[in-house]
Amino acid sequence: MRLLFVGDVVGRSGRAIVLDRLPGLIERLGADFVVVNGENSAGGFGITETIHSDLIDAGADVVTTGNHVWDQREALVFITRTPTLLRPVNFPAGTPGTGAGVFTARNGARVMVINVLGLVFMQALDDPFAALEREIAACPLGEGADAIIVDVHAEATSEKQAIGHFLDGRASLVVGTHTHVPTADHMVLAEGTAYMSDAGMCGDYDSVIGMDKDEPLSRFTSKIPSARFEPALGPATLSAVLVETDDATGLAVRIAPVRVGGRLSETIPDW
């Protein structure tokens, strides 16, 4: 089975390239299941119901989020009736929505997706390791699910790597989001879990992590906020990662980055 994970969609430019290029990528790569992180898709902050629907229509099977999940207040309402939108699983009990689910792939396989928020330099939520252990124990790879994808929305690469090793052999893919820069450490870990510290963003890379450069530069040099952050609107790059799994075990056989459009060098797996 082939799993395609698309990194954080940032603003209008990021949405445009995903909506334009994702359907063709799915066909070209033979992707059976697609996850898109959409937490920055609405003006760089949060997600709306309309944007969620547009991403699903473009080919996403599930949309994950992160620390900006509630920036658009409507998300608190529509997430309760939208099982294909996940918020971090380690929010406290009673938080609207859910952080994990089992979904049906194009080939009929059962794919579990878990969205979790890291704690290092992030808001204080419940222990991500305990939350992941609980979800994996309830739906083990090869029993309750044919593949398991974990979106680790976190600042620290050390925390992401630790979660990758914690789940090695028990998940198909552990992939980081949030820092908006694609890393070069895509690999299959010792026990068969595909891993990448950050899938990168879908947005304009002539920016500061997707935002127009002027205000971040002003804040770094003057230490004084002068305006709100606005997404950069230039040509975007779609950044993603493709994983092929062994149908017998659900573990990864190979992993490769995917980048199309915009300023970054293009790379599309030829397998």
Give pLDDT tens digits for 33-90. Answer: 999 999 999 999 999 999 999 999 999 999 999 999 999 999 999 999 999 999 999 9
Confidence of residue 131 (pLDDT cuts 50, 70, 90): very high
Q: What is the pLDDT of residue 192?
A: 98
- Res 80: pLDDT: 98
Q: Look up residue 137 and give its two tokens.
A: 């124990």
Q: What is the DSSP string of 253-270?
A: EEEEEEEESSSSPPB---
Give the CATH superfamily of 2-260: Metallo-dependent phosphatases (3.60.21.10)
Report the mean per-residue pLDDT for the chain: 98
Q: What is the pLDDT of residue 123?
A: 87
Number of Cβ within 10 Å of residue 112's Cβ equals 25
pTM of the model: 0.98
Catalytically annotated residues: 68
**Model confidence pLDDT, tens digit, residues 153-163:** 999 999 999 99
Virtual CA dihedral for 67, 73, 76, 79, nearest 10 degrees? -80
Cα–Cα separations (whole angstroms), residue 30 to 33, 82, 88, 271:
9, 26, 28, 10
- Measured over all CA atoms, what is the biggest interatomic distance in the chain, rounded to whole angstroms? 57
Residue 165 has a pLDDT of 98
Residue 174 has pLDDT above 90, yes or no: yes
Residue 12 has a CB neighbour count (10 Å cut-off) of: 17
The model's pLDDT over 18-28, given as tens digits with 9 standing for 90+, comes to: 999 999 999 99
What contacts 143, CB < 8 A, 6 or more positions away? none
Asked if residue 193 has pLDDT above 90, the reply is yes
pLDDT at 115: 98
Please tell me the predicted confidence (pLDDT) of residue 89: 98
DSSP 107-171: TS-EEEEEEEE--TTS---S-HHHHHHHHHHHS-BTTTBSEEEEEEE-S-HHHHHHHHHHTTTT-
Residue spans per domain, the chain: 2-260
